[in-house]
Amino acid sequence: MLTKRIIPCLDIKDGKTVKGINFENIKNVGDPVELGTYYAQQGADELVFLDITATNEKRKTLTELVTRIAKNINIPFTVGGGISSVDDVSALLNAGADKVSVNTSAVKDPDLLDRLSKQFGNQCIVLAIDTKFDEVEWFVYLNGGRVATNIKTVEWAKEAVRRGAGEILLTSMNNDGTKNGFALDITRKVSEAVSVPVIASGGAGSMQHFVDVFREGKADAALAASIFHYKEIEINELKIFLKKNNIQIRG
């Protein structure tokens, strides 16, 4: 049986792991390769590395870091941040990344998803969506959550999958950094609207939150950062807890 995935996310700035509360107040929490290796040993099913400053600083690739990661870690990993062209993706995949995630660039140029999936196959193209609930509706936000749009999240997810996204990484900005749990309603809505796997992100604070997002949010994978970085939850303990709650888990 296919298992639910636990994915630590490592936000990267200048080659270092960082985590911001609501994407601000950035603090260093370690070396990406060291931390990634630790998580893999603890039973992480995949890793995500996001260069959170890339969109602003127009930095193109993390090729050197990706090469180091691939050399040391033998579970799948996704790299994102400032990716906007076939050439960017080609460089990262050749350096050893398994998947890449695109966000702002795909909203601005939706055809990018068609070009990427045609060239590399949709299995390695992850669409990241930063979403925020605005009184009545969940909308898509750009540039690490700083720029609002009038695009509805579910509609964008559906279009992206039609164009070639092979997976959706959905981050709720309302929940991110709060430790009050994942956004179950929008995760479930996106999950039911698309045929590809959905990774829920933002708000994990307890082990029960993971049970909730798999059961009620219908997520295929759950991503978190601070609770792992600060060892508030250890991945091996989380997996034991999930198994006890009858969630299908590897290991």
Partner 1 sequence: MGNVASVQKALNFLNIENVISNNSDIINKSGYIILPGVGSFSQGMNNLKKYGLVDLLTDQVINKKKPFLGICLGMQLLAQKGSEPHETNGMGWIKGEVIKINTKEKRIPHLGWNSVNVINSRYFSDLTSLDFYFIHSYHLKVKDPALVSSTVNYGIDIVSSVQKENIFGTQFHPEKSQSAGLQLLKSFFEINA
Q: How far is CA 21 from CA 179, 187, 213, in A?
A: 10, 20, 21
8-state DSSP, 216: T
Using CB under 8 A as the binding rule, whether residue 38 contacts partner 1 is answered as no
Is 75 a binder of partner 1 (CB under 8 A)? yes
User: Could you tell me which of 6, 4, 3, 1 has the C-alpha nearest to residue 204?
Assistant: 6
- Asked if 242 and 236 touch (Cβ cutoff 8 Å), the reply is no
120 binds partner 1 (CB under 8 A): yes
Rounded least distance, CB 129 to partner 1, Å: 17
Complete DSSP assignment for 122-189: GGGEEEEEEEEEETTEEEEEETTTTEEEEEEHHHHHHHHHHHT--EEEEEETTTTTT-S---HHHHHH
- Applying CB under 8 A, which part among 9-17, 66-74, 128-136, 231-239 lies near partner 1? 66-74
- ∠ CA 79-81-85 to the nearest 5 degrees? 90
Q: What character string, x for contact with partner 1 (CB under 8 A) and - otherwise, covers 210-249? A: ----------xx----------------------------
Q: Which of 11, 176, 212, 220 is catalytic?
A: 11
Residue whose CB is less far from partner 1, 40 or 183: 40
CA distance 161 to 196: 7
Short-list 204, 238, 245, 248, CA closest to 43 = 238
Catalytic residue among 51, 130, 176, 212: 130
Tokens for 241?
Answer: 């807890």
109: annotated active-site residue: no
Residue 136 near partner 1 by CB under 8 A: no
Written as one letter, the residue type at 172 is S
State which of residues 121, 230, 237, 243 lies at the interface with partner 1 (CB under 8 A): 121
Q: Is 250 in the site for partner 1 (CB under 8 A)?
A: yes
Residue closer to partner 1 by CB (options 169, 173) is 169
Phi, psi angles (nearest 5°) of residue 194 = -120, 160
Residue of 8, 32, 166, 203 interacting with partner 1 (CB under 8 A): 166
| Distance, CA of 134 to CA of 201 (rounded, Å) | 18
- Residues in the interface with partner 1 (CB under 8 A) total 31
User: Does the annotation count 130 as an active-site position?
Assistant: yes
- Residue number, 142 or 242, with CB nearest to partner 1: 242
Residue number with CB closer to partner 1 (48 or 196)? 196
Catalytic residues: 11, 130
Interface residues toward partner 1, by CB under 8 A = 1-5, 40, 45, 70-71, 74-76, 93-96, 98, 120-124, 166-167, 195-197, 220-221, 250-251
